[in-house]
Homo-oligomer: A and B are copies of this chain.
Amino acid sequence: MVKVRENAVHYVAIAAQPLDVQALYEKLKAPQFGGIVTFVGTVRQWTADVETHAIEYTAYTEMALKELTKLATTIEAQGANVVIVHRVGHLALTDEAVFVGVAAAHRGDAFKWCEYLINAVKQQVPIWKKEFDTDKIRWGGLE
């Protein structure tokens, strides 16, 4: 299952399958844009002295797509291609959880917009992580 919204904005999706970073990157390329910045969030092993071995992501899929679309639209209106895809399901170490890509005419904008988007995704898109750590299970956002 991949839920996608691709009308107004370039490409946003909630994906149940592993992210194809190359394919997502290719969607960003265009002759008018010389700078492409991408952020990929992967499952990290250590957070201070807590060891993680897996993360399960769930989403309120339809609402998450709406929120991603709003975010992407805002940035695309300023002159950019935007791709945002978030994984759901069970992820192992180094698996890709999220891809945020921005192509813009100039690199300063691409960096600024990409960082803005990943921060916004983490703050306002209804997606949750359940972290399987060595000592116990932790829900993201609650500690």
Among residues 91 to 119 in chain A, which have CB atoms less than 8 Å away from a CB atom of chain B? 93-94, 105, 107, 110-111, 114-115, 118
Task: Count residues of chain A with CB under 8 A from any CB of chain B.
Answer: 30
Copies in the assembly, this chain: 2
Interface pair A34/B41, CB less than 8 Å apart: yes
Beta-carbon nearest neighbor of A36 in chain B: B40
Interface mask (A2-45 → B, CB under 8 Å = 1, otherwise 0): 00000000000000000001100100011111111111111111
Given contact pairs A30-B94, A118-B107, A25 touches B40 in the complex (Cβ within 8 A): yes
Residues of B within 8 Å of A35, CB to CB, are: 39-42
In the bound complex, how far is the Cα of B115 from the Cα of A43, in angstroms?
Answer: 23
Residues of B within 8 Å of A29, CB to CB, are: 42, 94
Interface pair B42/A111, CB less than 8 Å apart: no
Q: A: which residues have CB within 8 A of B?
A: 21-22, 25, 29-46, 93-94, 105, 107, 110-111, 114-115, 118
Task: Give me the 4 closest cross-chain CB pairs, A-B, nearest first.
Answer: A34-B44, A22-B22, A31-B45, A36-B40
